[in-house]
Chain A
Amino acid sequence: MAVEALGSAHRVKVAPWNDPVIRGWVFQIVVVGLVAGLAWYLVSNTIDNLNRQKIASGFDYLGREAGFEIGDSMIEYSPASTYARAIWVGILNTLRVAVLGIFLSTILGTLIGVGRLSPNWLLNKICVWYVEAFRNVPLLLWLFLFYKLISEAFPGPKQALSALWGSMFLSNRGLYFPVPMADPIHKWMGVALLIGIAGAVALHRWAKKRQEATGQPFPSILAGFGVALGVPFVVWLLGGAPHHLSWPELKGFNFEGGTVIQPEFTALLLGLVLYSSAFIAEIVRSGILALHKGQSEAAAALGLSRGQSMRLVLLPQALRVIVPPMTSQYLNITKNSSLAIAIGYPDLVASINVTINQTGQAIENILLIMAAYLSVSLSISAFMNWYNKRIALTER
Chain B
Amino acid sequence: MSDDALPGGERRQLAPPVDESGALGWMRKNLFSSWGNGITTVVLIVAVVWILSGFLDWAVFTANFTASVGSECRGGGACWALIREKYRYIFFGSFPYEQHWRPLFAVIAMLTMLVTSADRRMWNWRLLVIWGLGSFVTFLLMFGQIHIPLSLFLTIALVLGGIGMNLRKAIAEPAEMNAYRALAAIGLVGLVLRITGILPAWSLAIAPFSYVETSLWGGIPVTIILATYGLAFAFPYGVLLALGRRSNLPLIKGLCVGFIELIRGVPLISLLIMASVMLPLFLPSGTTIDKFLRAQVAVILFAGAYIAEVIRGGLQSLPKGQFEAADAMGLNYPQKTLLIILPQAIRVVIPPLINTFIGFFKDTSLVLIIGIFDFLNTANQALVDPNWAGFPGEVYLFAAFVYFIFCFSMSRYSKYLEVELNKGTRR
Contact = CB atoms under 8 A, between A and B. Distances in A.
A138 B270 CA distance: 18
A142 B251 CA distance: 43
B321 to A, nearest CB: 21
A interface, how many residues as a size bin?
Answer: 35 or more
B392 A148 contact: yes
A141 B376 contact: yes
Interface string A26-40: 011101100100000
Given A136-B411, A144-B380, A122 B41 contact: yes
Interface in A107-153: 119-123, 126, 132-133, 135-142, 144-145, 148-149, 152
B365 A138 contact: yes
A123 B42 CA distance: 11
B4 to A, nearest CB: 32
Contact of A149 (B37, B358, B393): B393
Given A49-B285, A366-B274, A339 B269 contact: yes
Contacts of B199: none
Interface string B240-270: 0000000011111001000001101111111
A89 interface: no
A144 B278 CA distance: 28
Contacts of A159: none
Interface in B332-376: 358, 362-363, 365-366, 368-369, 376
Contacts of B273: 349, 353, 356, 366, 369
Interface in A131-185: 132-133, 135-142, 144-145, 148-149, 152
Contacts of B280: 49
Nearest to A32: B251
Contacts of B281: 45-46, 49-50, 362-363
A366 B41 contact: no
Interface stretch (A73-81, A200-208, A215-223, A370-378): A370-378
A194 interface: no
B91 to A, nearest CB: 16
Contact of B266 (A119, A149, A373): A373
Contacts of A373: 265-267, 270
A314 to B, nearest CB: 19
Contact of B362 (A123, A139, A335, A341): A139
A122 B403 contact: no
A52 B376 CA distance: 37
B277 A366 contact: yes
A349 B252 contact: no
Contacts of A29: 251
Interface string B219-253: 00000000000000000000000000000111110
Nearest to A372: B266
A136 B407 contact: yes
A263 B48 CA distance: 27
A366 B33 CA distance: 58
Contacts of A27: 249, 252
Contact of B277 (A126, A336, A356): A356
A325 to B, nearest CB: 12
Interface in B261-297: 261-262, 264-270, 273-274, 277-278, 280-285
Nearest to B355: A135
B251 to A, nearest CB: 4
A319 interface: no
Contact of A362 (B41, B278, B404, B411): B278
B371 to A, nearest CB: 12
A256 interface: no
Nearest to A48: B285
Contacts of A7: none
A24 B251 CA distance: 10
B255 A140 contact: no
B269 A148 contact: no
A259 interface: no
Contact of B269 (A35, A137, A152, A341): A341
Interface in B28-52: 29-31, 33, 37, 40-41, 44-45, 48
B365 A141 contact: yes
A338 interface: yes
Nearest to B40: A120
Contacts of B392: 144-145, 148-149, 152
A342 B267 CA distance: 14
B153 interface: no
Contact of B37 (A120, A132, A335, A336): A120
Pick from B252, B358, B397, B406 the residue with the most CB of A within 10 Å: B252
Contacts of A362: 277-278, 281
Nearest to B27: A121
Interface string B57-98: 000000000000000000000000000000000000000000
A250 interface: no
Given A28-B251, A28-B252, A138 B41 contact: no
A99 interface: no
B323 interface: no
Nearest to A122: B44
A123 B40 contact: yes
B30 A136 contact: no
A344 to B, nearest CB: 13
A120 B31 contact: yes
Nearest to A50: B281
Interface in A358-395: 362-363, 366, 369-370, 373-374, 376-378, 381
A374 B45 CA distance: 46
Contacts of A338: 267, 269-270
Contacts of A49: 280-281, 285
A335 B272 CA distance: 13
Interface in B1-46: 29-31, 33, 37, 40-41, 44-45
Closest 9 CB pairs of A and B: A148-B392, A377-B265, A136-B407, A121-B30, A335-B267, A138-B362, A338-B267, A145-B396, A138-B365
20 contacts: A24-B249, A32-B255, A45-B285, A48-B285, A52-B285, A119-B29, A122-B40, A122-B41, A122-B44, A140-B366, A140-B376, A141-B396, A142-B400, A145-B396, A148-B393, A338-B269, A353-B273, A362-B281, A374-B265, A377-B265
